[in-house]
Structure 1
């Protein structure tokens, strides 16, 4: 590859771009071009279209890294022509025609299920939507056990919720069918059952998968390891 790809980091549900901050800092320090867009978290199809539009306005190749729900987003957005690779970070690697709910439904619930909060929000000209978030008191242990309490308390009260709609929307495409991909499993994940991650990655035939003894918010607990998976993927792409 003649030019090093721009790295686009895609956050997931119950988080925002700041969740990637430690990894972003490391990649910038290594001289990479990085973008960390704010995902609307309003619908899988809409979010994927938004990220695809971000990608298509970047000149040159792009590698997408998606955390959690962000994995589902890059599965769809990653078909953009200038995307050269995908990195799943404790994420959902959906099959074409599959929704988050369908993939999760094949495995026992994680601890997250009993700590979700459902809040209506207004939609102009339509019925109220439903925002899904994590109980603030449960967030540090369920989402980011092992990350400093000072950090997780801030993240808990600044969550970016995900609409309930997004859980039922099926992925119309699966970019991993045509783009090389790599993955990270958080083996101590209490937000997504780690077997959901393993299953999706194996089915997608990822080039390599590493397991870290880490919480769901692995970018905060193990930023160096996450950054290395991304930069190793770039090196492998040549």
Structure 2
């Protein structure tokens, strides 16, 4: 016959196990590993609002920090992060990060791609060439500057209006002065075989984007047959200004790709 103390210990153990199971139940429905990839002129810290939602919902989330020094350097850094995952993985790319996940997404661990106001290039395309077909609001302005050694950055006085119009002014100004300079060569790097031709994809269009023409984003999504949402009034910083919508799309991808597996 069990004593009251033994019964209490067993009950406590069962409760703990139940709580642990509930905490991870949502993520367990599909893919648990998510890798977030930032774009040009920012770093991985901008993903924190999305990261917080995803981790609270039980996902294992990694934020890739790539150097923005060359397309090869950047894909190598993200591939290294994918290699660290313990199973099927969803890759999420913002802006130039979309070009990166289109390449790295060919890795067998990657089972789904999520583009957040991002470039989803086809083989041989470049961001520069597609930008000429679909000019952005900043393409004919002097807002994009170049250093003597070939790195691009946004004029800090124009950064908020061009990149982050729907963020708090103080936050946008900080990001303007903390932006990660980006090698100009990455925007002219031709794409190889695109992973979206072989794997399911999801796309969030930012309808007030001034960095990438929203019509170019729509073309990318349509061509890749992506599951698409449009975030009304969102700037290029949509992943920061609308983290709930972005996180929900990523979770949809994780669950759907998990079922597909």
Instruction: Name the TM-score, length of structure 2 as normaliser.
Output: 0.84
Partner SS, residue 111 of structure 1: coil
Runs of 4+ aligned structure 1 residues displaced above 6 Å come to none
Task: Please say if residues 186 and 218 of structure 1, whose CA atoms lie closer than 8 Å, have aligned partners that are also in contact.
Answer: yes
| 1:173 corresponds to | 193
Once the two structures are TM-superposed, the CA of residue 3 in structure 1 deviates from its matched residue by 6.1
**Is 1:156 the equivalent of 2:176?**
yes
| 2:212 corresponds to | 192
- Give the CA RMSD over aligned residues: 1.4
Q: Structure 1 stretches of 5 or more lacking a match?
A: 122-129
| 1:211 corresponds to | 230
| 2:123 corresponds to | 96
95, 111, 119: which is aligned to 2:147? 119
Task: Please say if residues 102 and 120 of structure 2, whose CA atoms lie closer than 8 Å, have aligned partners that are also in contact.
Answer: yes
- Quickly say closer, same or farther: Cα 1:133–1:119, change in 2 above 3 A: same
Task: Please say if residues 219 and 226 of structure 1, whose CA atoms lie closer than 8 Å, have aligned partners that are also in contact.
Answer: yes
231, 235, 238: which is aligned to 2:255? 235
Moved more, 150-159 or 83-92: 150-159
Partner SS, residue 36 of structure 1: strand
Once the two structures are TM-superposed, the CA of residue 105 in structure 1 deviates from its matched residue by 1.5
133, 139, 155: which is aligned to 2:159? 139
Q: Figure out how many residues of one structure are paired with residues of the other and give that number.
A: 229
1:78-97 alignment, distance < 5 Å: 78-97=105-124
CA deviations over 1:106-143 (Å, ceiling 9, x no partner): 1123225521010134xxxxxxxx11010101111110
| 2:49 corresponds to | 22
Distance 2:70 2:118 in 1: 16
Partner SS, residue 157 of structure 2: coil
Distance 1:62 1:142 in 2: 32
**Is 1:43 the equivalent of 2:70?**
yes
| 1:52 corresponds to | 79
Task: Please say if residues 3 and 60 of structure 1, whose CA atoms lie closer than 8 Å, have aligned partners that are also in contact.
Answer: no
CA deviations over 1:26-45 (Å, ceiling 9, x no partner): 11111110000112112223
| 1:4 corresponds to | 31
Partner SS, residue 92 of structure 1: coil
Q: Which has the larger radius of gyration?
A: 2
Task: Please say if residues 33 and 59 of structure 2, whose CA atoms lie closer than 8 Å, have aligned partners that are also in contact.
Answer: yes
